[in-house]
Chains A and B, each alone.
Chain A
Amino acid sequence: MLYQYFLRRFLLTIPTFLGATIVVFFIVQLAPGGPLEQRIMQLQQAAATEGGGGDVFGTTEIPPEAIEELKRFYGFDKPIYLRYLIWLGVYPRETDYQYLRPGKPKPVGEGVRLMVVKENGQYKLVNADDPSKPVEGWYIGKERERFGETVVEIYRKEFSGILTGNFGKSFVYQEPVLNLIKERIRISLQFGLIALILSYVICTYLGIQKALEHGTPFDLVTSILVFIGYSIPGWALGAVMLILFGGGSFWDVFPLGGFQSPDYESLSFFEKIWDRAYHAILPTLSYTISSFATLTVLMKNSLLENLSQDYIRTAFAKGLSEKRVIWLHALRNSVIPIAANIGFIIGVFVTGSYFIELVFNIDGFGKLSFEAILTRDYPIVFSFAVIAVLIKLFGAIFSDMVLAMVDPRIRFQ
């Protein structure tokens, strides 16, 4: 029953995932001023300055072949729905372009030499060394003019997209996006995980204490903290802490940001740990505050509500100690909503992190993706969106799993 439910949930993520990626893909791809336009503009400017800058207003024409090639490099030579399918990896991507002059053989690797011949007005690809052998894996593309010559392009086909794990190559860093992400997400995850654990430990404990001491001065004082948490976004609190403790105006206690000191490599092992921790304190606090208020209040209210239930009255009536009633009976039922929140909060920590990473200048995943928007580095932008969508989708399922785990009464249908 439960397995069936989760199986269905997992299957349902597929259309949702496709829908979400379609929305993201079309918004980003249809937007004007994309990487192609930017690159063309850069080239025009470069050409204008190189040309001696004689005519400021005359637009330096870029040869149409170059534009064609740029278009292909950025993947803009195909209609948008094909681009989406290629990007997904369900439509073959054309790779390894080679230009062949008709009638001239050319080695294309693996000891194979290919040649293009014209037959009945149509180009045909043959093995130059052994025309009887069929040519496998190569296809003929367009005929085009290159440097005053007529050439025919040939290419290979390959299914390669996000579904096959190919997230593309960053336009800016010229490196596979996955490598970049691997590097950066380690940093983001460090903060996210520590903050996640911290906020759960702190909020659960605080919530319990607040519920038990409902209406006491302790409750009122901690309520101030909760209200601060509600009314200030984590990154904004981070900005205040930077001003207060970053050494600019008040106390010079913590570094101004970054992930580690510049001389990190020369430090001893324990110094390294301390250096990391020292840099991590303020950002981690900012992360923690973003879910602090919600979690604490959820825990408090849930425990309060349970404490006013009949089964608690019964437990007291049969003479159990207060400790036992609260920690064994009431608490088990009260952690259900806060446990079920975990999937949602994971999403907040991973995808909502660019603000905090920007404030503290941490080279994490969030900052990488934000900068990718500015530089129109589409592969990174898409990868961030894909990962964010996946985390949200699976976070929701994960939440339900946790819920099913902590609450045996739950029956999903």
Chain B
Amino acid sequence: MNRTEQQQKAQPPKSLTVMQRRWRKFKRLKRGYYSFLILLGAYILSFFLPLLVNNRAIAVRYNGEWYFPAVKQMLVENFLIGKLFGMNYFYSGKFFGQEDNPGECNYRRLKEEWEAEGSDNIVIMPPYPYGPIEDIGVEGNEPFMAPFETKNGSAPRLFGTDDRGRDVFARMAYGFFVSISFALILAFFEYAIGVPLGGMLGYFGGKFDIYMQRLIEIWSSLPTLFLIIIVASIVRPNFILLIILLSLVRWVGITTLMRAEFYREKAKDYVAAAVSIGVPTHKIMLKHILPNSLVPIITYFPFSIVAGIAALVGLDFLGFGLPPPTPSWGQMMSVGLQHLTKWWLVIVPLSAMFLTLLLVVFIGEAIREAFDPKVFSRLR
């Protein structure tokens, strides 16, 4: 028993709920707590990626009018609000006076041109002026540039470019946003299926439970990733389809956990008491049992995230993940393995995945420790 807990015992007036105590213990586990802060910060920051790492300008002043392509892109792609309003972040080169460019405006060149002319038109570029999707089709992008290589005085490529001239650093950064978002949404659906289903199985039992148990047994004996690959090789998958496919596979884990938890809790006295005073069943499940079953829900979460990211990277690696040109770590690795001499193509996405998963694992460890009332005491 450590000092703070002794103090709490000595001065009982301020009592903490179990959750508050666990949160405090979690905060004391520095490695996990800081990993949590770093990951949270990085993910929040990654929502603003279009303003930080992008080939589109944050702001353009042209003939006295302001335009904000990168901001619009952020609202459309990362916050999804822009989509509702039908926002369009595409400005052609002609629009800004690049007469030879009917395609999307090349803001880097635009900036150079206007600065050379000394006109009062302004282009404000993001700090890292390369996007994740622009390839050799855009001037200045060359395949297989080495890390820190510059061409004609342009901004250096932090981690070089890939086989199609796409910037590796930009793809890695956007890949982080995609991977974490994917894993979070997948975990949400997993829980949305698994928690209610597992709860009902554990609480009601009976025939439904027996049949579902058989189904779960069948499900967990299937080579699931193999099946997903089969389906994905037939139907070109997109973000939503992948989420659906993987949730169809992954609901089993949390369902089993919740079933066991509800089954155990149901037998306890407080449930019997609640039943005997006539509390309706849904209230017993939601208000009485569920708060007592939070331990598996929370401790399972980080491992579900790790599994989600690993599954996405694996599928992308095989070419059955998100449709190209979505920036994804797995796709970057598969390109890298085809070009073994260009080491950065593999090392960069892999390090990104490793660090991300490491942070999640640290968080997971800390959560488990914070929730574990047991303390190992060795005798010798």
Write out the residue numbers on chain A whose beta carbons fall within 8 Å of the beta carbon of B313.
233, 236
B62 to chain A, nearest CB (A): 44
Q: A233 and B310 in contact (CB under 8 A), knowing A239-B350, A370-B318, A373-B233? A: yes
B203 nearest CB across to chain A (Å): 23
Are the C-beta atoms of A373 and B230 separated by less than 8 Å?
A: yes
User: Is B378's CB within 8 Å of the partner chain A?
Assistant: yes
Q: Is the CB of A248 within 8 A of B341?
A: yes
Chain B residue numbers with a CB within 8 Å of A322 are 380
- Which label, helix, strand, loop or mixed, suits the secondary structure of the A interface? helix
- On chain A, the residues within 8 Å of B358 by CB distance are 227-228, 230-231
Q: With a CB–CB cut-off of 8 A, which chain B residues contact A214?
A: 376, 378
Q: How far is A298 from B222 in the complex, measured between Cα atoms in Å?
A: 25
In the assembled complex, how far is the CB of residue B232 from the closest CB belonging to chain A, in whole angstroms? 9
The reply to whether B378 and A304 contact each other, CB–CB distance below 8 Å, is yes
Per-position contact with A for B222-255: 1 when CB-CB < 8 Å, else 0? 1101110111011100000000000000000000
Let me know if B231 and A355 touch, CB within 8 A: no
Name the B residues within 8 Å of A384 (CB-CB).
Answer: 223, 226
Which residues of chain B (364-380) have a CB below 8 Å from chain A?
A: 376-380
> Which chain A residue shows the least CB distance to B225?
A352
B residues 181-239 near A (Cβ < 8 Å) are 214-215, 217-218, 220-223, 225-227, 229-231, 233-235
Closest residue of chain A to B320 (Cβ to Cβ) is A373
* B60 beta carbon closer than 8 Å to chain A: no
Cα A305 to Cα B372 with chains together (Å): 13
Inter-subunit contact B347/A243 (CB<8 Å): yes
Which residues of B lie under 8 Å from residue A33 when comparing CB positions? 234
- Which residue on chain A has the smallest CB distance to residue B220? A392
Q: A242-B337, A242-B340 are in contact. Are A236 and B353 (CB under 8 A)?
A: yes
The residue in chain B whose Cβ has the minimal distance to the Cβ of A369 is B226
Q: A214-B376, A227-B358, A358-B318 are in contact. Are A351 and B214 (CB under 8 A)?
A: no
Q: Is the interface of B mostly helix, strand, loop or mixed?
A: helix
Within 8 A of A (CB), among B75-97: none
Asked if A56 is at the interface (CB within 8 A of a chain B CB), the reply is: no
Residues of A within 8 A of B70 (CB): none
Tell me which of B231, B347, B378 contacts A27 (CB under 8 A). Answer: B231
- Whether B229 contacts A373 by the Cβ 8 Å rule is yes
Closest residue of B by beta carbon distance from A223: B365
CB distance from B347 to the nearest CB of A (A): 6
Is the CB of B357 closer than 8 A to any CB of chain A? yes
**Within 8 Å CB of A389, what residues of B?**
221-223
Provide the residues of chain A in CB contact with B25, threshold 8 Å.
Answer: none
B114 contacts chain A at the CB level, 8 A cutoff = no
Tell me if B218 and A16 are in contact (CB < 8 A): yes
Asked, given contacts A24-B222, A28-B230, A248-B340, whether A19 binds B361 with beta carbons under 8 Å apart, the answer is: no
Given contacts A20-B222, A308-B378, contact A243 B340 (CB under 8 A): yes
Count A-side interface residues using an 8 Å CB cutoff.
Answer: 55
Report A-chain residues with C-beta under 8 Å of the C-beta of B226: 351, 354, 369, 373, 384-385, 388
Q: Closest A-chain residue to B337, C-beta based?
A: A239
Please indicate which of the listed interface residues B342, B361, B377 has the most CB atoms of chain A within 10 Å of its own CB.
B361
B306 located at the interface, meaning its Cβ lies under 8 Å from any Cβ of chain A in the complex: yes
In the bound complex, do residue A231 and residue B306 qualify as a contact, i.e. CB atoms below 8 Å apart?
yes
Known contacts A33-B234, A373-B230; A248 and B343 CB within 8 A of each other: yes
Smallest CB-CB separation from A352: which chain B residue? B225
Whether the pair A232, B379 counts as a contact (CB closer than 8 A) is: no
Are A239 and B361 in contact, CB atoms less than 8 angstroms apart?
no
**A1-41, CB < 8 A from B:** 15-17, 19-20, 23-24, 27-28, 31-33
User: In the complex, which residues of chain A have a beta carbon less than 8 angstroms from the beta carbon of B227?
Assistant: 23-24, 27, 385
Instruction: Contact check, A240 vs B223: say whether CB atoms are below 8 A apart.
Output: no
Q: Which residue of B lies closest to A226 (CB)?
A: B361
Mark contacts of A196-240 with chain B using CB atoms, 8 A cut-off: 1 yes-contact digit, 0 otherwise. 000000000000000000100000000000011011110110011
> Contact between B231 and A392 (Cβ–Cβ < 8 Å)?
no
**Contact between B221 and A240, CB atoms less than 8 A apart:** no
Residues of B within 8 A of A227 (CB): 358, 361-362
Closest CB-CB distance, B258 to chain A, in whole Å?
21
Closest residue of chain B to A249, judged by CB? B343
Interface residues as binary, B304-345 with A (CB distance below 8 Å gives 1, 0 otherwise): 001000100110011000000000000001001100111100
Interchain nearest-CB distance for A291 vs B (Å): 14
Decide yes or no whether B270 CB sits under 8 A from chain A.
no
Known contacts A239-B336, A243-B347, A307-B378; is-contact A20 B221 (Cβ 8 Å) = yes
Given contacts A242-B337, A243-B340, A304-B376, contact A16 B353 (CB under 8 A): no
Of chain B, the residue at the smallest CB distance from A233 is B310
A105 within 8 A of B: no
Picked from A239, A243, A308, the residue with its CB within 8 Å of the CB of B379 is A308
A313 interfacial by beta-carbon distance below 8 Å? yes
List of 3 A-B pairs having minimum Cβ-Cβ separation, nearest first? A248-B340, A231-B357, A249-B343
Interface residues of A (CB under 8 A from B): 15-17, 19-20, 23-24, 27-28, 31-33, 214, 227-228, 230-233, 235-236, 239-240, 242-243, 246, 248-250, 256, 304-305, 307-308, 312-313, 316, 322, 351-352, 354-355, 358-359, 369-370, 373-374, 381, 384-385, 388-389, 392-393
A15-B214, A32-B234, A316-B380 are known; give 17 further A-B pairs, CB within 8 A. A20-B218, A227-B361, A228-B358, A230-B306, A230-B357, A231-B354, A236-B354, A243-B340, A313-B379, A351-B223, A370-B318, A373-B226, A381-B230, A384-B223, A389-B221, A392-B220, A392-B221
Q: Can you list 27 A-B contacts with CB-CB less than 8 angstroms, sorted by A residue number?
A: A16-B218, A20-B218, A23-B227, A27-B230, A227-B361, A228-B354, A232-B350, A232-B353, A233-B314, A236-B313, A236-B333, A242-B337, A243-B343, A246-B340, A248-B340, A249-B340, A249-B343, A250-B343, A304-B378, A308-B378, A316-B380, A354-B226, A355-B314, A369-B226, A373-B230, A385-B223, A388-B226
